[in-house]
Amino acid sequence: VIRDMSGTEVAKIQERMARVRDAMKIERAGRPDAMVLKAMITPLRERFKLQADDVGEIAIQGNFLDHEYEFEWNGRKVAEVSKRWLRVRDTYGVEVAPDVDTALILAATVAIDQMVHN
């Protein structure tokens, strides 16, 4: 569950049992549900996509094992995940563009972490 600063639930992540490890549902209060889907695996890297009726499709690609990847929507980078910014072990940062649903990006980041590292 992801909560805003006032403690209100803004997103909830649930693994899709019928498609273990390749899809996770993100329930959002007052907004359409979203899905994080593992896309086709290429020889060089994995890919994911984030889909929701209110945002369409966001492509997610990069190095997921090392927490170095980007979210791209309509050809524009809207978020980036990186370990390079922080020196604390097992920690990574998420930078989200100001006009993007931060809770959705954070929920997708958590879902990807669960799909890749579990």
pTM of the shown model: 0.83
If one counts every other C-beta atom within 10 angstroms of the C-beta of residue 25, the result is 15
If one counts every other C-beta atom within 10 angstroms of the C-beta of residue 42, the result is 9
Q: Which stretch of 8-17, 24-33, 51-60, 97-106 has the lowest confidence by average pLDDT?
A: 8-17
In 18-63, alpha helices (H): none
> In the chain, pLDDT over 90 holds for what percent of residues?
53
Residue 29 CB-density burial (10 A; 0-12 exposed, 13-18 middle, 19+ buried): exposed
